Amino acid sequence: MLAAIIGLFGPVLTEDERAFIRDADPAGIVLFGRNVETRAQLRALTDSLREASGRADLPILVDQEGGRVARLGPPEWPAFPPAWRFSALYDKAPISAIEAARANSEALGLLLAEVGINVDCAPVLDLRHAGAHDVIGDRAFGAEPLRVAALGRAMLDGLAAAGVCGVIKHAPGHGRARADSHHELPVVDASEEELAADLAPFQALHNAPMAMTAHLLYRAWDAERPATLSPTIIAEIIRGRIDFEGLLMSDDLGMQALAGSLAERARGAIVAGCDVVLHCSGVLAESVQAAEAAGAISATAADRLARTMECASASSTQSYEALAAKRDALLAYAG
């Protein structure tokens, strides 16, 4: 198995993609809007991926946070509220906000599981900082660590109840970025003391099954390398101070915050301590380059992956309709 999660080109598996998945066995697949048309089409695609890989527990990922980050959307799928809606309710009724967030994520997870998706790249645990770039913005559950941790835990629990693994992101915190890491490298000048707040939600949820790194440079921890490529940050901060023991994946290698070729980025992330790298473009030649550079998954990472996917075995007894109605009733209180 190669230590890479790769994207696909379109709504059906091409023969070249099928051959690569069969022969090279990438660790997982990530889906985007270009891969999504209808429920029947998407279920056929995920079934074909598992058939090609020969792995019933193949991780199939999607970014389905709610709000503006949603690969499955209307009219085929219902829209889900962004994180800030739960934060607004938390201002008035914290327990109700936690219940609404859990019901929302279980409802969301049911729709993902229905089409064969077993990993959701959520929740966002980044704090919402004043003056930061809006790349996080309303995707954040708030500015206070306790609130973000409580609502993030509710989302993880709701997804797990539906048989979907959550991914906490973007470790060790993307909220202070004053630039969009999709386009350039954000540099964070905050002190060790200031950054302690950003770590707190990740520390509270350190037992999450998966985590995703941030392509940010934190001068207080490593003045030369962004977190994804920093052995210091991964070993001392993510594995150390956060105490995260699950599967650690990079954010997308194609983002312009990282320098060098795809192969250099992939090798750098693995050497730094990421268990697997993420490459999302769907261009097969690029996926092959990144996956081959990442190399075979380590025994430790393979064990983490196997333990992680155990969370995809749950089967909710709730219905989407009942959960969505509960969420909507609770959110109505916030106005």
Kindly report, residue by residue over 111-159, the tens digit of the pLDDT.
999 999 999 999 999 999 999 999 999 999 999 999 999 999 999 999 9
Residue percentage of the chain with pLDDT more than 70? 100
- 196 is a domain residue: yes
Q: Is 1 exposed, middle or buried (0-12, 13-18, 19+ CB in 10 A)?
A: middle
Residue 51, C-beta contacts closer than 8 angstroms, at least 6 positions apart: none
Position 194 confidence tier, pLDDT thresholds 50, 70, 90: very high
**What was the pLDDT predicted at 315?**
78
How far is Cα 318 from Cα 285, in angstroms, rounded to an integer?
Answer: 42
Produce one character per residue of 71-90: b if its CB has 16 or more CB atoms within 10 Å, e if not.
Answer: bbeeeebeebbbbbbbbbbb
User: Would the pLDDT of 316 be above 90?
Assistant: no
Backbone angles phi, psi at 271, to 5 degrees: -60, -35
In a domain, 312, yes or no: yes
Q: Residue 99: inside a domain, yes or no?
A: yes
- In angstroms, rounded to a whole number, what is the distance separating the alpha carbons of residues 323 and 99? 10
- Catalytic residue numbers read 182, 251
Evaluate whether residue 162 is within a structural domain: yes
Look at strands 69-70 and 64-66 and give their pairing: antiparallel
What residues form DSSP beta bridges with 31? 62
Side chain identity at 312, as an amino acid letter? A
Structurally, the chain folds into a number of domains equal to 1
pLDDT of residue 153: 98
Q: What is the pLDDT confidence band of residue 313, given thresholds at 50, 70 and 90?
A: confident
* Average pLDDT of the residues of the chain: 97
Q: What is the Cα Rg of the chain in Å?
A: 19
Per-residue model confidence as pLDDT tens digits over 7-47: 999 999 999 999 999 999 999 999 999 999 999 999 999 99
**Is the pLDDT reported for residue 246 higher than 90?**
yes
The pLDDT value recorded for residue 333 is 83
Is 199 within a domain? yes
Q: Is 228 exposed, middle or buried (0-12, 13-18, 19+ CB in 10 A)?
A: buried
Asked if the model's pLDDT at residue 335 lies above 80, the reply is: no
With respect to residue 270, please indicate whether it lies within any of the assigned structural domains. no
Percent of the chain with pLDDT over 90: 97
Distance CA 128, CA 152 (A): 14
What is the span of the domain harbouring residue 290? 2-6+14-26+40-49+78-167+175-237+278-334
Q: Is residue 252 part of a domain?
A: no
- C-alpha to C-alpha distances, 164 to 110, 161, 202, 270, nearest whole angstrom: 8, 7, 19, 25
Higher pLDDT, 26 or 314: 26
Q: How far is CA 55 from CA 12, 25, 109, 120, 226, in A?
A: 18, 9, 21, 18, 33
Tell me the two tokens of residue 280.
């999302």
Q: Distance (Å, rounded) from C-alpha 96 to C-alpha 240?
A: 33
With residues binned 3-state (H G I as helix, E B as strand, rest as coil), the percentages for the chain, rounded to 5, are: 45, 15, 40
Would residue 244 count as lying in a domain? no
**Residue 171 pLDDT > 90, yes or no?**
yes
Q: What is the CATH number of the domain that holds 104?
A: 3.20.20.300
The tens digit of pLDDT for each residue in 47-77 reads 999 999 999 999 999 999 999 999 999 999 9
pLDDT at 311 over 90: no
